[in-house]
Amino acid sequence: MKGHVKALLFAAFLLAGGGCFFLGRSMAQSEYAKERDLNIQINRSELDGLGTIEGPIYVTGHKSPDADTVGCSIGYAALLQKMGYDARPVVLGPVNHETKYILEAAGVDTPELLEDASGCNMILVDHSEYAQSASGLADAHILSIIDHHGDGSVTTGKPLVYDAKPLGSAATIVWIRYRNYGFEPDQKTAMVMMGAILSDTKNLQSDSTTLADREALKALRTIAGVSDTDAFYQEMFRASLSYDGMTDEEIFFNDYKEYEAGGRHYAIGCIEVYDETDAKNMAERMKPIVPASLKTTGMDMAFAQVSVYHDGISVNYIVPSDDTAEEVLETAFGEKAVSDGTSYILKPGVSRRKVLVPAITDVLEAHPKE
Amino acid sequence: MKGHVKALLFAAFLLAGGGCFFLGRSMAQSEYAKERDLNIQINRSELDGLGTIEGPIYVTGHKSPDADTVGCSIGYAALLQKMGYDARPVVLGPVNHETKYILEAAGVDTPELLEDASGCNMILVDHSEYAQSASGLADAHILSIIDHHGDGSVTTGKPLVYDAKPLGSAATIVWIRYRNYGFEPDQKTAMVMMGAILSDTKNLQSDSTTLADREALKALRTIAGVSDTDAFYQEMFRASLSYDGMTDEEIFFNDYKEYEAGGRHYAIGCIEVYDETDAKNMAERMKPIVPASLKTTGMDMAFAQVSVYHDGISVNYIVPSDDTAEEVLETAFGEKAVSDGTSYILKPGVSRRKVLVPAITDVLEAHPKE
C-alpha cells in the first residue's frame, strides 16, 4: 500500500474511532493515572530481563563522535542513572567542533575516552557496526543498542534491549525512552539532547525528520530553557565549520586532493565556512598558503576552494596558486568566475568532484604540457 | 552493581519520589489525556519513518513454527492492520501440535505458508537469524524485527524498527506495542497471544518470566475471555505431546538414536507423554514395535524410553526389545528399575544422553560379544 493511501486510511480510521482502544475511550482521572503507571512499569521491566549486571555500564556512540552520538551517550546514561544503574557515557575519540560547542553551552563535561571495550558491559547508541565501534567490542557484553540506522554487523549471544527506530535523530529515541519510562532529563542533559536533534535533523529540515523529532525538540528546548533554537542551531553550525586550533597550512591540507591532467599535476584544498564574510577572510588567509604549498607538494599548480553552503547561499571563493592557475580558471569558467584580486568567485558554488575537477582537467588536457 | 542492590535502590528511589517525572506529579484529567494521546502519536510515528511501503508486508516467525512465533506473527500483523497496513501473518512450515491446539481454541486460521521472501516486505518476529528464517530473506526488504533473543545474523541496509526486549515471550513485546500504540487486540488475536505467552514462559514458571509477561497474560486472558489459564496451559501442553496422525512405528522412530558398545549395536527411541496413564498406554503400544524394529534396523537390541516430565513427576517407562535387552537393563539399574511386565519403571526418570546410554554402554562393554 502506498504511503499516502495508508495515511488517508489511517486518518479515516482515527476519525471513525473504530477499534481504537485508548484515543476513543473516555476515562476517569484515576484510571488514566493507573494505566499510565502500569505502562511505565511495563516499559521499564525490559531492563529487569537483562539480569544481574556486575560493574559499570559504558554507553558509547560511534567513532569520530558527533553531536547525535555524544548526545545519545550522555542522555541514555543519565536515564539509566535515574534508575539506579552505574551507567557512564564514553567517547571513542575527540569530539568535533559542533559537539564541543553544545557541551560548552550546556556546561557538560566531554565524556571520558574508552580505550578498549573487552570484558565491559556496553550499550551502543547511534550505531550497530563493529567497524564503527570500540576496539574489543566482540569480547564485551552488549546489553543494549539504541539506533536510527540499519541493523549492522554487531551480534550478541545474550538477549538484549535493541531499540531502533527510523527517526531523524537517535537522541529522539532516547527521549521517547525517557517518556515511556516516566522520566524527564535534567536541564543540562536536555540541552545536549536538543543539540543532538538539531544537528542530525539539520534544524528539522532534513528529509528524515519525523513527528517524534519535532516533538522531542519542542519538549527538550523547554526543559533546556532555550527559547530560540534557530539561533542555537546557527551557532552550532558556525562552530561545526570552525578551524580553531589549526594553522592556515593545516586548514588548507585538511580536505586536500591531488590530480593529474595533460601532463600536469594540480591540487585542490576544500574549506567550508559559515558565510561570505568568513569566506573572504579565509581566502585572504589562503593567499600566501596556496603558492607556498607547491614547494612542499611538488604540484604544478594548486587551488584553495573556500565554500559557503548555507541558508540558500551557495558560493565558492577559489584562490589560485599563481598566474598559470589563474589562466586555467579563466579558461574553465570565463565570465562565470569574477575575480576580486584574491579569489575567483563562483555563484552558485560548484562541487569539487563533479564540476571543478572536470573543468580544470578539460582545460589542461586541451593545452597539454609540451 | 548487583541486581538486588539495584532493585533496592530503585525501590527506595520510587518511594522517595525524587526526580521521578510521571509517577510523582499530580495531573488534571485533561492533562493525562493530552499526554497519553501525545505518547501514542510519538510511539506510532516510528512507522512513518519507514517511508512509503509498496505491496503487502509479510510477518513471519522462525522455521518449525511454535506457539510464540505464530502468536507474534498473527498479533503483530493484526496490530499493523489496525493502522491501515496490508500486513499478513505467514509461517515457514507446518505448525506444531501445541500451536494447532491454540489456533483451534481461538478459532483462528493457520497462517499461509511463505515459500520465498525474495523481493518481499518482511517483518521478522521471534528470531533474527538468516538460518532460522525464510529462504530469499537476503533479497527482501526487512522493515522490522520484534524479538526476545540475542541480535542475530540478519542485517539491513535501510533503517528499521528493531524492538528486542529480554522478556519471557516475544508475544509480550507485541502486546507492549499494542499498549504503546494505543490499541487493543480483538478477542481471537488476544487468545492466540495468550497461548504464545503461556507456551514460552511455561505458564509463567520459566526463569525468563518478567513483570511484563505476567501483566500481558493478565490483560490478554481478560480480552480472550479465558478464566482458567492454568487449565488452558495443561491442555496446550498435553496437545504439545500429542502424536496424533502418526503410526506407532513412526512414534518410535520420531526421536530415535543408534549406539555401539562391546561389539553390539543398540538403539533407543524417546517418547515424551503427559502423565503416567499416557505413559502406560504408550508403553503397551511400543511392546510389539520395539522387537519388530530390530528386523528393519539390524540392531542387536532396542529400547523405547517413554517419559513423563511434568508437574513434579519424573518417570521413565523403558520397553526392552527382548530378553537380552531386559538383562542389560537389570544389570544396569538393578533394583532401581521395577518391571510391570511391559516396562522397566525408573523413578525419577533419567536422561537418555546422560544416564541411560552410559549405563547400557558400561554393561555391554563389561560383557563384550565373543
CA of A145 to nearest chain B CA: how many angstroms apart?
A: 9
- pLDDT at position A43: 97
Between residues 80 and 109 of chain A, which touch chain B (CB distance below 8 Å)? Answer: 82-86
- pLDDT at position B1: 43
Mean pLDDT of chain A: 92
Q: Which of A42, A52, A153 sits opposite B3 (nearest CB)?
A: A52
Residue numbers in A near B53 (CB within 8 A)? 1-3, 6
CA of A340 to nearest chain B CA: how many angstroms apart?
A: 46
A370 pLDDT above the threshold of 80 = no
Smallest CA-to-CA distance from A96 within A107, A110, A78 is with A110
- pLDDT at position A4: 53
B16 pLDDT above the threshold of 60 = no
Contact partners, residue B149, CB within 8 Å, separation at least 6: A159, B126, B127, B128, B164
* Alpha helix positions (H), A17-135: 29-44, 67-82, 97-106
Percent of chain A with pLDDT over 90: 85
A2 pLDDT above the threshold of 90 = no
Percent of chain B with pLDDT over 70: 93
B9 pLDDT above the threshold of 70 = no
Per-residue pLDDT band for B24 (boundaries 50, 70, 90) equals: very low
User: What is the pLDDT averaged over residues A299-304?
Assistant: 97
| Residue bearing the bigger pLDDT, B172 or B17 | B172
Whether residue B151 and residue A142 make contact (CB cut-off 8 A), yes or no, is yes
Per-residue pLDDT band for A157 (boundaries 50, 70, 90) equals: confident
Is the distance from CB of B198 to CB of B233 less than 8 angstroms? yes
Per-residue pLDDT band for B205 (boundaries 50, 70, 90) equals: very high
- Prior bond of B348 cis (ω within 30°): yes
Residue of A nearest to B36 (CA): A36
H/E stretch holding B272: strand B264-273
Per-residue pLDDT band for B14 (boundaries 50, 70, 90) equals: very low
- pLDDT at position B312: 85
Where do the domains of chain A lie, and which CATH numbers do they carry? 33-239 (3.90.1640.10), 248-366 (3.10.310.20)
Q: Which of A33, A38, A156 sits opposite B151 (nearest CB)?
A: A156
Residue numbers in B near A84 (CB within 8 A)? 1, 6-7, 9-10, 13
| Residue bearing the bigger pLDDT, A3 or A45 | A45
Mutate which of A2, A121, A162, A189 to test chain B, going by most B C-beta atoms within 10 A?
A162
Smallest CA-to-CA distance from A364 within A253, A267, A255 is with A267
- pLDDT at position A369: 82
B368 pLDDT above the threshold of 60 = yes
Per-residue pLDDT band for B26 (boundaries 50, 70, 90) equals: low
Residue A147 pairs with which residues in a beta bridge?
A: A164
Whether residue A153 and residue B155 make contact (CB cut-off 8 A), yes or no, is yes
A15 pLDDT above the threshold of 50 = no
State the ipTM, two decimals.
0.83
Q: What is the SS3 assignment for A320? A: strand
- pLDDT at position B6: 53
A18 CB near a chain B CB, below 8 Å? no
Report residue B203 as a C-alpha cell: 505458564
List Cβ<8 Å contacts ≥24 apart for B325-332. B325/B266, B325/B301, B328/B266, B328/B301, B328/B360, B328/B363, B328/B364, B329/B303, B329/B360, B331/B363, B332/B359, B332/B360, B332/B362, B332/B363
- DSSP code, position B183: B
- pLDDT at position A44: 97
Percent of chain B with pLDDT over 90: 86
Per-residue pLDDT band for A206 (boundaries 50, 70, 90) equals: very high
- pLDDT at position A312: 85
CA of A37 to nearest chain B CA: how many angstroms apart?
A: 6
Q: What is the pLDDT of residues B294-335, one digit of tens each?
A: 999 999 999 999 999 988 899 999 999 999 999 999 999 999
Q: What is the pLDDT of residues B246-300, one digit of tens each?
A: 999 999 998 899 999 999 999 999 999 999 999 999 999 999 999 999 999 999 9
Q: What is the pLDDT of residues B162-192, one digit of tens each?
A: 999 999 999 999 999 999 999 999 999 999 9
Interface contacts (A, B; CB < 8 Å): 235
Smallest CA-to-CA distance from A196 within A242, A150, A148, A164 is with A148
